Structure 1
Amino acid sequence: MIITQVTSPQQLEIIRSLAYTIWPDTYGAILSEQQLNYMLDKIYAIPSLQEQQQNGQHFVLVEEDGVYYGFASYQINYKEGKTKLHKIYVLPQTQGKGIGKLLLGYIEQVVVENKNQSLLLNVNRFNKAIDFYTRQGFEVVGEENIDIGEGYLMEDYIMEKKIK
């Protein structure tokens, strides 16, 4: 499996397609169908993804033999000395096969190369991925409620992992 930096609009289309495949499984039991669709449209429209890139997010894709299994995005120096993991998603049928760890390891290496000391992320307080993050060395360091419009609220934990 290889991880590649996203540099083209065609690759953003792949991310968009993956998100529309992954999110219903990830959030279907947590969010209403209306909120799920609202968030997908808001976050994964191509202009929105391009704006996220312009605002400092780096997107990566993981693939093997032309088949894409997941993606992540991160922002170096989101806060002083801290990189933010904005997104990390793998196809439901591939979860538990090391792809998430592969993406996380790649981003942790970026953290080291850029002399940051930790990796931050937000995760929905009801997301089963919290167990994955905890096993990877993240700790809950706070909570945050984010108004995303249309009366919807993201109820997140803030998690952090110190990187040596």
Structure 2
Amino acid sequence: MNPSIRIATTADFELISQLAYEIWYPTYIPILSEAQIAFMLDQLYSIDGLSKAVEQGKVFYLLYESEIAVGFIAVRPSPEKEVFRIESLYLLPSTQGKGYGQLLINFAAELAKAHSFTTIELNVNRQNKAYHFYLKVGFEVAYEIDIPYHGYVLDDYVMQKSI
């Protein structure tokens, strides 16, 4: 199974939304309430939410395994902070552990270099098990942040990696 990465278009928004729903519940149910998950999925991964994300400069890419979409990454240059942001990185639970997370991070690093950035940055919930993965692949905690979000609080680590 040779994975491939393709840039997403507006025609892929429904697929990204479907993937987000399949990934978020098993990922976040130990951390967040079902109400918060449903709310955030609607805000971030509905067709409208994805359209707004693209308007804000995020670029989505889909990861395929044998022509089946199994995950996605969204990136955005952040010149004001001098970093290249990974805004989203999600894989179906059945594909985790196959090296695809590292593949997507390497892909983002290459995009960052092509845009003359030397640091990639992401946020991860402090309770998310992906935190340990990010440490393993070379990210370091830059700082902790609590982000008010529509009545909820996102308690994140902001992590960075030099490339």
TM range (shorter): over 0.9
4+ runs deviating over 6 angstroms: none
Contact 1:125 1:157 in 2 (8 A): yes
Q: Cα offset for 1:80?
A: 4.0
Aligned to 1:110: 111
Matched residues in 2 for 1:19 and 1:25: separation?
A: 10
Aligned residues: 161
Percent identical = 39
SS of residue matched to 1:106: helix
Aligned to 1:22: 23
The one-letter code sitting in structure 1 at the alignment partner of 2:109 is E
Aligned to 2:154: 154
- The aligned runs of 1:96-135 (5 Å cut-off) are 96-135=97-136
Aligned to 2:6: 4
* Unmatched segments (≥5 aa) in structure 1: none
SS of residue matched to 1:36: helix
The one-letter code sitting in structure 1 at the alignment partner of 2:129 is K
- The aligned runs of 1:40-119 (5 Å cut-off) are 40-119=41-120
SS of residue matched to 1:157: strand
Q: Cα offset for 1:129?
A: 0.3
The one-letter code sitting in structure 2 at the alignment partner of 1:34 is A
Matched residues in 2 for 1:118 and 1:25: separation?
A: 30
* Unmatched segments (≥5 aa) in structure 2: none
Q: Cα offset for 1:54?
A: 1.2
Aligned pair in 2 of structure 1 residues 13, 78: CA closer, same or farther (>3 Å)? farther
Matched residues in 1 for 2:13 and 2:41: separation?
A: 14
After TM superposition, the score normalised by the length of structure 1 is 0.94
SS of residue matched to 2:94: helix
Q: Cα offset for 1:47?
A: 1.2
Contact 1:122 1:159 in 2 (8 A): yes
After TM superposition, the score normalised by the length of structure 2 is 0.95
Matched residues in 1 for 2:94 and 2:65: separation?
A: 15
SS of residue matched to 1:79: coil
